[in-house]
Amino acid sequence: DVKVTQSSRYLVKRTGEKVFLECVQDMDHENMFWYRQDPGLGLRLIYFSYDVKMKEKGDIPEGYSVSREKKERFSLILESASTNQTSMYLCASSLSGVRYGYTFGSGTRLTVV
């Protein structure tokens, strides 16, 4: 079964730590996305990538960076974690072309203490 895999389901980190959230897809999708989900705010796009080594800022990129060295892997980096980055993080991938929807991972619930 094809899927998007996020490395951790739950993560607890300390303020100031550098945090890596990993996402791997096995569908040979060109596009990959990182969202955060918070109650009442829905899904907010952090960063996305249409190709290897390419990245574009989403709606809320501040405090985050990304890396896409290989087509199948898209990493989200919190350079210096803060408590306001406590959230559910969702990774998604899709084929190029707007007719295609996204395939989502199961999410990583990050708590920054």
Partner 1 sequence: AQKVTQAQTEISVVEKEDVTLDCVYETRDTTYYLFWYKQPPSGELVFLIRRNSFDEQNEISGRYSWNFQKSTSSFNFTITASQVVDSAVYFCALSEAGSSGANSKLTFGKGITLSVRP
Residue 61 binds to partner 1 (criterion: CB under 8 A)? no
Residue 90 binds to partner 1 (criterion: CB under 8 A)? yes
Compute CA distances 27 → 3, 7, 31, 42, 94, whole Å.
7, 17, 11, 26, 9
Residue 101 binds to partner 1 (criterion: CB under 8 A)? yes
Residue 24 binds to partner 1 (criterion: CB under 8 A)? no
Residue closer to partner 1 (CB basis): 7 or 104: 104
Cα distance between the two ends of the chain: 36
Alpha carbons 56 and 40: distance in angstroms, whole number: 25
Q: Least CB distance from residue 3 to partner 1, whole Å?
A: 9
Residue with tokens 């890596």, as numbered in its chain: 20
Alpha carbons 90 and 60: distance in angstroms, whole number: 14
Residue 1 binds to partner 1 (criterion: CB under 8 A)? no
Q: Least CB distance from residue 17 to partner 1, whole Å?
A: 23
In the complex, which residues of this chain contact partner 1 (CB under 8 A)?
30-31, 33, 40-43, 45, 48, 50-51, 88, 90, 92, 94-107, 109
